[in-house]
Amino acid sequence: MIYILLPAYNEEESLDYLLPKIDKAFKEDMKQEYHIIACDDGSKDKTGEKLRFYSNSLPLTIITHKINRGLGETSRDLFEKVAELSNDEDIVIRMDCDDTHEPEFIPGLLEKIEEGYDVVIASRFVEGGGQEGLDSYRATISRFANLFMKFFFPIDGLKEYSSGFRAYRASTIKHAINTFGNQFIQLKGLGFTATLEKIVKLKIIGAKFGESPFILRYQQKRSESKMVSSITTFGYGTLALLYHWPWGGWRRSYKNIKKLHDE
C-alpha cells in the first residue's frame, strides 16, 4: 500500500485539481493501491466540505483540526496516523496540497525506495529537476535556505532539504516515532521548520537518503502561501542550535537511544 499525506489549509480550489490527478496516477498509470490521509488544519474555506465529498469516491481518511494549528502539528498528526494504519512494507508519500507537486514524479520516488533508500526527496537540484513560476526573490531565498541547511546538516548526496515532496518507508517512520515519541516533530510552532526537522531526526536514527528529479510548478499554486519567512528563519536557527550545541545537542541526546534501537 502507498499512503499519500496531504496537509490542507484553505485548499478548497486546489483539491479539485490535485485529488483527481492522484487518483488517475495510481489507478491508470501506476496501477497501484493507494490511500490518502488528509488533515484539514482549521480551514476557513470549504476545504473540509471538499474532502468529505471526495471521500465518497476516493480512498480517503480525513483528520480535522477545528482551529488552525500550523504545519508542524499537522505533520505530526499525519505521520502518527500513517504509522498507526500502515504495515512496515508500505510506502508513505508526503505532498503539498496546493497543486505545485505533480503526481507524475511519484514513480521516480518509488524507484529509489526500491533501490534501498529509506527516505527519497523530490529534488529540484539534481539532473532532470527544476522549478517553474518562482520569481527571482523566492528562487534566491530557496537556494540560500538549502545552502544553510546543507552547511549545518550535511548528508552525503543530498542537495534538496526544503522540499516537502518525499517518499518514506513506513518502517522508517514507525522507527522514528518509536524513538522520539511526540518529539519526532518538536518545533511545532515554527513555521516550515518541521520539514527540515524530520530530516534531522531521521538522520539521527541512521536513515539512508536519496533524491529523485522533480520540477516544482509554482505557477499552478492555487492558494496563498502559508510560509512566514521570519518565523521559519528563526526556526532554522533554533534547529541548528539544538542539533549542534551544547556538546553535540540532539546528536548526543539521542546517541544512546539510537544505539539501543540498532541493537
For cell 544553510, the residue is 148
| Burial (0-12, 13-18, 19+ Cβ within 10 Å), 86 | buried
Q: Which fold has domain 2-262?
A: Spore Coat Polysaccharide Biosynthesis Protein SpsA; Chain A (3.90.550)
Measuring CA to CA, which residue among 36, 70, 74, 33 is closest to residue 55? Answer: 36
Q: Where are the domains of the chain?
A: 2-262
246: preceding bond cis by omega (within 30 degrees): yes
- pTM value is 0.89
At 144-198, the pLDDT tens digits run 777 888 888 888 878 898 899 999 999 999 999 998 888 898 887 777 788 888 9
Of 19-28, 83-92, 112-121, 193-202, minimum mean pLDDT range? 193-202
d(CA 139, CA 199): 22
Helix or strand or coil: residue 92?
strand
d(CA 154, CA 165): 19
Q: Three cell numbers at 114?
A: 526500491
d(CA 85, CA 160): 28
* 112-124 b/e (C-beta count within 10 Å ≥ 16 → b): bbeeebbbbbbbb
Q: Three cell numbers at 113?
A: 525506495
20: left (phi over 0), alpha (psi -120 to 50) or beta: alpha
* 34-41, strands of its sheet edge to edge: 60-65, 34-41, 2-8, 91-94, 166-169, 119-123, 209-213
Of 21-25, 172-176, 179-183, 241-245, minimum mean pLDDT range? 241-245
User: What length is written for the chain?
Assistant: 263
At 223-233, the pLDDT tens digits run 666 555 667 77
